[in-house]
Structure 1
Amino acid sequence: MKEFLEGYYSFFTSGVEILAALTGIFTYKKYKNDNTRWFVFFLVGVALLEIISMYPSFIKDDFIKKHQGSLWGLILQSNHWLYSIFWTLGGSLFFSYYFRLNFQNEKHKRIVKYLTVLFILSFAIYYATHFEKLFSDFIFIPVDIFSAVLVATCSILYLMELMQSDKIVYFYRSINFYISTVILIWWLISTPINFFNEYFHINDIDFITLQWLIYLIINVMMYLSFTFALIFCQPRIKDN
């Protein structure tokens, strides 16, 4: 299993991300007058992030050693900073913005707005005072949990609005139903995995293998679900 994950994890993960992005591009005409167009842009951004984050594998060790100890050397050596900034921070901010566009309840918009401000402050304060952690750690657990709380709140509030409205009759045709459900499941599964990183050593092969396997499953599930939703769902004009 370890050999399989080492050989194919990036292939499958990047593959489903690119598939979802391409599906969004091909279906863009259907959603161009709808808020869903922002979700398409997000998927394209995720695919580009995955491609750009491969840069460490193309940099020679001698070149990295030459810049060892400098900021440039930290950037070259690891792509953790990319995921921390553009996924943990950027992804959370995107879903906050996206769901506020789709909320009908003004109270829900305010709740998410305040949570977003607190999340940005917590992220900025931690990494301003522990700048080196941006490169050495994948993500600070409290920040990761705050990110999960923000995204989960967005998803739950949207689903509450959906259940309390006439839209529940045709929820299965609403792309936002699938987006909110899938990202809620993804964040609820991935956050505990990151939490347990604190208690397992990097040499614990069994835990690392299990972690990679779970991430592979939930990533494939999430992006295939997005692909399905983009193809078979209707724009929000039918969701109102």
Structure 2
Amino acid sequence: MSQLFGEVAGDYHEARPDYSPEIVEAIRAYHGGTPGALVEVGAGTGLATQMLLTLGAPMTCVEPDRRMARVLAARFPEVEVVTVPFEEWTPPPGGVPALACALAWHWLDPATRNRRSYDALTPGGTLAVFAHRYAYVDPAHAAALEAAFESADPQQFRDRSDDWFHADIADSGLFADVRSVPFRRAVPLDTAAYQRLVSTFSPQLRRPPELRERVLAAVGAAVDGFGGTVVLDLRTTLVLARRPA
């Protein structure tokens, strides 16, 4: 499933919202400055990479899907790209001072992701995990879009809570000073942009082609029905944790 998105590697970078630069400043403040090196796990096509590079640390990106990794390497030649699942990646001797994971924590093996992250970090190293939650500014738009999705495909996929990974990391018992930092912003999308975004979601990619088209038509009609623009209430949660020194 972690390689599901390679099918839309060309569109993913343009369709998905970017990340607030405030995330970088929060990581820097928590770490106590710029880390000596940073590894990003599940980097995809580099949406978070683009932001994380502003930390100023040498970066390595671990990405299992070769199609995504090719796009990533072409966009960011200054980054070392390792095309391998996180579960098969070998950290450098002594570990790394910072490890980041954007919108990919749920794709990592839940039985090992915390232990592997802990083992990959140097003592005192920083773990930074963050993800978006796609909600809507207008409750009426949210209801209309939920109805549109269900009209096309009654089998819906339910989201987890905004900061579910905070509990996952804290409950592992491996990390110290686990904290959540929320970010929130409004992102307007026209009908075509919203359809393009939906086309990169994993539930949509799991659907057969004919059902995908029905879903896109239904949500497109819904957005057109309220003026051709939907405003996302984009909620981003950053969870920071430290390997004890």
Say whether the fold is shared (TM-score over 0.5).
Answer: no
Higher relative contact order (CA 8 A, sep 6+): 1
Structure with greater proportional strand content: 2
Return the structure number with greater helix share: 1
TM-score, scaled relative to structure 1: 0.32
